């Protein structure tokens, strides 16, 4: 699969026949939507964890020096916190562009705080995409993040903002917090 998944998402037609739908955001969408929506509320999905295993060649890094951003990885028995937005298919043009670096649209059940479960849309970068970086040590991930910058700014800003947003919502994420803590140590060592 190429880096650019816009056409793959457009041709998939996932949720294109809906008037409204829920979008589950688990990375920067938690703290920075960038679009209008009719409703927003915390949600969780079962069987997935957030990992800094996806390369960012277009937002938080460059093709020569990719940053690292989160994707979802299957993990039976685990729960991933995120933010759900009620949107329309008109949002797909913006979202497909924002998530173009390897992310595909998937349908996924999500649960809300009141116990309601809805089938919604989530963008996931799988290991088959060209920007996949995969697993690495917390230190290696943090060093790459601390050193990378792209058109959307320093990769460190993304990692630290995500950790801050998760903490603000009372969500637990050992991986994100460990990466963010190590990034802070590296920044402090820079002087």
Q: What is the DSSP string of 115-184?
A: S-EEEEEEEEE-TTSTTB-----HHHHHHHHHH-EETTEEHHHHHHHHHHHHHHTT---HHHHHHHHHHH
**pLDDT value of residue 6:** 64
Q: Quote the pTM value.
A: 0.92
Beta bridge partner(s), residue 119? 109
**pLDDT value of residue 4:** 78
Taking the chain (191 residues) in runs of 10, the rounded mean pLDDT of each run is 65 75 97 95 98 95 95 98 96 91 93 96 94 97 97 97 98 98 96 77
Residue 139 within any structural domain of the chain:
yes
**pLDDT value of residue 2:** 52
Residue 157 within any structural domain of the chain:
yes
**pLDDT value of residue 3:** 66
**pLDDT value of residue 1:** 44
Q: Which two tokens stand for residue 72?
A: 């979802």
Which DSSP symbol is given to 45? E
What is the rounded CA–CA span in Å between residue 87 and residue 73? 24
Residue 179 within any structural domain of the chain:
yes
Residue 1 within any structural domain of the chain:
no
In 3D space, the residue among 43, 10, 4 whose CA is nearest the CA of residue 26 turns out to be 43
Domain that holds residue 91: 6-190
- Give the other-Cβ count within 10 Å of 21's Cβ: 21
User: Strand locations in 57-98, DSSP E?
Assistant: 67-87
Residue 84 within any structural domain of the chain:
yes
**pLDDT value of residue 19:** 87
Q: What residues act catalytically?
A: 99
Number of structural domains the chain divides into: 1
What is the rounded CA–CA span in Å between residue 119 and residue 2? 28
**pLDDT value of residue 187:** 96
Number of helices (H), then strands (E), in the chain: 5, 7
CA angle, corner 98, sides to 164 and 159, nearest 5? 20
What is the rounded CA–CA span in Å between residue 177 and residue 171? 10
Residue 184 within any structural domain of the chain:
yes
Which DSSP symbol is given to 186? H
Q: What is the CATH number of the domain that holds 142?
A: 3.10.490.10
What is the rounded CA–CA span in Å between residue 55 and residue 78? 23
């Amino acid at each position: 699969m190429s880096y650019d998944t816009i056409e793959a998402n457009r041709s998939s037609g996932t949720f294109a026949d809906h008037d409204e739908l829920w979008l589950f955001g688990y990375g920067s969408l938690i703290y920075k939507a960038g679009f209008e929506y009719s409703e927003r509320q915390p949600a969780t999905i079962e069987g997935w964890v957030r990992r800094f295993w996806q390369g960012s060649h277009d937002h938080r890094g460059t093709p020569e020096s990719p940053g690292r951003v989160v994707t979802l990885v299957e993990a039976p028995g685990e729960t991933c916190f995120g933010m759900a937005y009620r949107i329309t298919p008109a949002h797909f043009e913006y979202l497909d562009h924002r998530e173009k670096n390897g992310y595909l649209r998937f349908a996924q059940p999500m649960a809300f705080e009141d116990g309601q479960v809805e089938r919604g849309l989530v963008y996931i970068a799988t290991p088959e995409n060209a920007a996949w970086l995969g697993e690495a040590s917390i230190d290696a991930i943090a060093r790459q993040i601390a050193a990378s910058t792209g058109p959307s700014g320093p990769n460190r800003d993304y990692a630290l903002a995500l950790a801050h947003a998760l903490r603000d919502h009372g969500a637990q994420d050992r991986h994100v917090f460990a990466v963010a803590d190590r990034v802070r140590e590296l920044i402090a060592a820079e002087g």
